[in-house]
Amino acid sequence: MITISASDVGARVTTRRRVPEGFRDAVGTLESWEGGVLRVRKRDGTLVEIPEETLVAGRVVPAAPPRPGRK
């Protein structure tokens, strides 16, 4: 089920998309949704570009819990 839209830019999201090998997930901040492409910035800084026609699931999720040993 896809419950995200372009109005969720700036929110933390989880996505699942079709790839030739099956499916791939990405969790991070939805940076943009323009021209049929979603851009999700993962925690490690990687930018994932997702063509919207490959998106099979997506939703807004709560902020990540703090990592142990970090403030």
Interval 2-51: pLDDT, tens: 999 999 999 999 999 999 999 999 999 999 999 999 999 999 999 999 99
pLDDT given for residue 66 in this prediction? 83
Residue 70 has pLDDT above 90, yes or no: no
CATH of the domain at 37: 2.30.30.520
φ, ψ of residue 27 to 5 degrees: the values are: -120, 130
Beta strands in the chain (DSSP E): 12-19, 22-34, 37-42, 47-51, 55-60
Q: pTM to 2 decimals?
A: 0.88
Asked if residue 67 belongs to a domain, the reply is no
Asked if residue 71 belongs to a domain, the reply is no
Q: How confident is the model at residue 53 (pLDDT cuts 50, 70, 90)?
A: very high
Type of residue found at 9 = V
Residue 54 has pLDDT above 70, yes or no: yes
Domain count for the chain: 1
Asked if residue 29 belongs to a domain, the reply is yes
